[in-house]
Amino acid sequence: GKSGYDHFMLKEIHEQPRALRQCLRGRVDELAGQVDLADLGDLSPRGIHLVACGTSYHAAVYAAQLFQQAGIPAQAFLASEYATSPPPIGDALVIGVTQSGETADTLSALREARKRGARTLAVTNTVGSTAARECDHAMYIRAGPEIGVAATKTFSSQIAALNLLALAITSVGDAREVISGLRDLPGAVQEILDTSTARKIAEAYRDAESYFFIGRGLHYPVALEGALKMKEITYKHAEGFAAGELKHGPLALVTQDTPVFAIVTGDDEQATKTVGNVKEVEARDAPVVAVTDGASDVERYADHVLEVPDTHRRVAAVVANVQLQLVAYHTADMLGRSIDKPRNLAKSVTVE
């Protein structure tokens, strides 16, 4: 059942700290600064393709950046596009990111990769799923069953699992920091759940016809995910952009009627650039909601702030996303939408 929550989606949002702990359990040795995924064997890939759809694709876009930063050429593909102009595969490892393990587009991309000689790995929530059975390897995200059509806890757990995978197959210098960041992640998510003011933001902007989400680097897939969640459960137009792309076209759509959610954490060059993009939308009178840890001066240009704790950047992306899950949820709730079963959508899309 829904354990007292109005919707499975809200229940699953609240299950995230536990889901994340389950994902990490037994897989990290904090003292040694090492990750143990022994059951995966020796993968040592020279290149990585990630194939996925929807929310899982956003996790893949995030993960491709982790592998790239560790020096492994990596690219995320929409599974439905993968086979149409197949990229050179060499001896790449092809990772299918799929909660259900049954998504037809993802299965067919993985089959295509295997046909062309690639090794395949399923990162999935579902033991015994088709993806898990057909791939050479499987890594389970251990989020527990997800009933709501909107993927929430499984996105967070995919991100955690892909962080572990990146640590296990690359030797990055900052492994210890990342591991301690991951250890802090469940608590940081709990803090958001306990303190979020997302319902107030939802109240303020429930009548908007269109919402924009912007972020750079690891926050770019979070912008995409924030927009997807908003459109699928509120039925309103929402778009996520790489912050730097706004001025290349979408800025023409920005008016006082388009709330812009800007994800900005830390105070590095990336943050400074995104703050610059926020100034551009603020100058067009757009309401700005900054999702921020307060390290930069983005709040000066924002109408509202959704706070996230000061964490490792990899973790900040996940906690920022939890704030956006809550904004989408509360907006849909106020609009009386069918949150757990949005119109036209299925939990698992088994046709191409």
Which residues contact ligand M6R by CB under 6 A?
53-56, 98-100, 103, 106, 149-151, 232, 348-349
Q: Is 206 helix (H, G, I), strand (E, B) or coil?
A: coil
Q: How far apart are CA 13 and CA 352, in angstroms?
A: 29
- Minimal distance in Å, beta carbon 256 to ligand M6R? 30
CA dihedral 250, 254, 258, 259 (to 10 degrees): 80
Task: Characterize the bridge pairing of strands 34-35 and 28-29.
Answer: antiparallel
Nearer to ligand M6R, 182 or 339 (CB): 339
Min. distance of Cβ 51 from ligand M6R in angstroms? 10
Q: CB 144 → ligand M6R: shortest distance, Å?
A: 14
Output 34 or 348, the one with its CB closest to ligand M6R: 348
| Alpha carbons 347 and 352: distance in angstroms, whole number | 14
Q: What would the DSSP string read from start to end of 57-68?
A: HHHHHHHHHHHH
Nearer to ligand M6R, 122 or 281 (CB): 122
Smallest gap from Cβ 343 to ligand M6R, in A, equals 14
- Comparison of 149 and 164: residue with beta carbon closer to ligand M6R: 149
For residue 210, the SS3 value is strand
By the 8 A CB rule, do 57 and 49 touch?
no
User: Would you say 15 or 191 has its CB closer to ligand M6R?
Assistant: 15
**Least distance (Å) between residue 349 CB and ligand M6R:** 5
Distance in Å, CB of 231 to ligand M6R, minimum = 10
Quote the CA–CA distance of 180 and 28 in Å, as a whole number.
Answer: 10
Shortest spacing between CB 193 and ligand M6R, in angstroms: 19
Of 55 and 274, CB closest to ligand M6R: 55
Tell me the DSSP string of 263-294. Answer: EE-SSSHHHHHHHHHHHHHHTTT--EEEEE-S
Alpha helices, DSSP H only, in 196-251? Answer: 198-205, 219-234
- Minimum distance between the CB of residue 73 and ligand M6R, rounded to whole angstroms? 24
If the CB atoms of residues 147 and 251 are measured against ligand M6R, the closer one turns out to be: 147
Is residue 250 within 8 Å of residue 260, measured between CB atoms? no
- Rg of the Cα atoms in the chain: 19
Give the helix ranges, DSSP H, for the chain. 8-14, 16-24, 54-69, 79-82, 104-115, 130-134, 153-169, 175-195, 198-205, 219-234, 269-282, 313-334
State the residue number with the nearest CB to ligand M6R: 54
Q: Which helix (H) or strand (E) holds 171?
A: none
Residues forming a β-bridge with 242: 215
In this complex, which beta carbon is closest to ligand M6R, that of residue 151 or of residue 246? 151
CB of 99 to ligand M6R, least distance (A): 3
Would you state the structure tokens that stand for residue 5, as one six-digit string? 């929550």
